């Protein structure tokens, strides 16, 4: 399960509530895993989506499960042992997707899933520093096992100048008051460096008073810092490019995103792949190399022209699912049928 933002910020997750994979049935319908296929779960997390895929590709399929957070494997030893013959876990960011598969001799896959954002265990662990609702170190690294990479949220807050901080909060957090917040941080850190999540959240509450029911003033700032620390948007664009290149004929890519920045990258990448001529005539925020010549016939078909959203029942069961958006694309078979229906929300 990945993150969702309520009107008060990131919803609390009861410790006794079992893990719930977001849009599980919708993911399986869009991905359509089949026995014997080679698939990738690029964001293993708590393994709920992976388990559902494994059940469908048995007895002789193969699933590569990637996660940059090493604790994901520690939390899911039983799953790893149960499916050891079909499941290959890889501790790595999904931007290394193509490299990982090449190392295993894999050049094409039948499907790939991305469930983006922060997982519930990451949010609910104060030591990770992702949530302003808990007091913990101002960290926010997805991978805390890499001792050679101490760069974290505290590094940004305590060393970046006012302009760079404002850019992060505005562009990655979509925070309207980015400049005022950046100025306040630079002023306060001269007296005492920021080291904890509550220390930063308290400053934000002080300069942006809010009422119950409103979005917490730390929500967007924490999002911006997390994205900057983990270079999430750059990682996602690289992974999207590689995922489409790896799909075999008939293969599908499915992505669940939780905020507009992620969803925009996924939507634009998928639309350009499915209609390169139209994409060539519209503004596109991705790398120049993604542009394709006009009149090129696409190898891809959008399965979702509009994102699939969680049902009211799912949101009631799992409030963190409320911001989820699912998009899917398929590489066309060698001889596609003239009538190729789309999956509708």
Residue 139 lies in a domain: no
CATH number at residue 254: 3.40.50.150
Instruction: Judge contact between 129 and 121, C-beta under 8 A.
Output: no
* Confidence at residue 290, expressed as pLDDT on a 0 to 100 scale: 46
For residue 74, what pLDDT is reported? Answer: 87
Whether 343 maps to a domain, the answer reads no
For the chain, the domain total comes to 2
pTM metric for this prediction: 0.85
The whole-number pLDDT of residue 296 equals 58
Answer whether residue 200 is part of any domain: yes
Same domain, yes or no: 111 and 163? no
pLDDT at site 5: 39
Instruction: Tell me the average pLDDT of the chain.
Output: 87
Q: Are 219 and 9 within 8 A, CB to CB?
A: yes
- 250 and 108 within one domain: yes
Q: Residues 46, 115: one domain?
A: yes
Whether residue 172 sits in one domain with residue 258: no
Neighbours of 14 (CB within 10 A): 8
Average pLDDT over residues 164-183: 97
Handedness of CA 271, 272, 274, 275 (dihedral sign): positive
Is residue 77 situated within a structural domain? yes
**Tens digits of residue pLDDT in 83-137:** 999 999 999 999 999 999 999 999 999 999 999 988 777 788 888 989 998 899 9
Please check whether residue 170 lies inside any domain of the structure: yes
Q: Which helix (H) or strand (E) holds 324?
A: none
Q: Which CATH number belongs to the domain containing residue 159 in this structure? A: 1.10.150.170
How much is the pLDDT for 147? 56
**46 by DSSP, 3-state: which?**
coil
Backbone angles phi, psi at 14, to 5 degrees: -55, 130
Domain containing 152: what range? Answer: 144-229
Decide which of 187, 208, 229 is a domain's last residue.
229
In a domain, 137, yes or no: no
Domain identity same for 213 and 305: no
Domain endpoint, select from 229, 251, 284: 229
State residue 73's pLDDT score: 87
Same domain, residue pair 27 and 39 = yes
Residue 313: its pLDDT value, please? 96
199 with 287, same domain: the answer is no
């Amino acid at each position: 399960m990945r993150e969702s933002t309520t009107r008060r910020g990131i919803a609390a997750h009861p410790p006794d509530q079992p893990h719930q994979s977001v849009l599980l049935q919708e993911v399986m319908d869009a991905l359509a895993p089949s026995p014997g296929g080679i698939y990738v779960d690029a964001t293993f997390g708590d393994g709920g989506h992976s388990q559902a895929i494994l059940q469908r590709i048995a007895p002789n399929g193969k699933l590569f499960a990637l996660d940059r957070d090493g604790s994901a494997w520690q939390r899911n030893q039983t799953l790893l042992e149960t499916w050891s013959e079909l499941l290959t876990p890889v501790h790595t960011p999904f931007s290394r997707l193509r490299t990982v598969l090449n190392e295993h001799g894999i050049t094409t896959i039948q499907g790939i899933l991305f469930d983006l954002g922060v997982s519930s265990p990451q949010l609910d662990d104060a030591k990770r520093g992702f949530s302003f609702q808990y007091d913990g170190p101002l960290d926010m690294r997805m991978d805390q096992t890499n001792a050679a990479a101490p760069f974290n949220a505290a590094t940004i807050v305590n060393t970046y100048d006012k302009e760079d901080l404002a850019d992060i909060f505005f562009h990655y957090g979509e925070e309207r008051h980015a400049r005022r917040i950046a100025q306040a941080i630079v002023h306060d850190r001269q007296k005492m460096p920021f080291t904890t999540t509550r220390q930063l959240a308290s400053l934000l509450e002080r300069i942006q008073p809010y009422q119950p029911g409103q979005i917490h003033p730390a929500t967007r700032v924490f999002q911006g810092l997390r994205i900057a620390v983990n270079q999430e948007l750059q990682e996602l664009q690289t992974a999207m490019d590689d995922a489409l290149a790896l799909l075999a004929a008939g293969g599908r890519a499915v992505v669940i995103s939780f905020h507009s920045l992620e969803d925009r990258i996924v939507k634009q990448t998928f639309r350009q792949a499915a209609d390169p001529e139209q994409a060539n005539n519209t503004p596109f925020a991705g790398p120049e190399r993604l542009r394709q010549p006009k009149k090129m016939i696409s190898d891809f078909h959008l399965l979702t022209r509009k994102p699939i959203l969680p049902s009211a029942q799912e949101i009631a069961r799992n409030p963190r699912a409320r911001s989820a958006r699912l998009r899917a694309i398929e590489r066309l078979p060698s001889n596609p049928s003239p009538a190729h229906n789309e999956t509708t929300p």
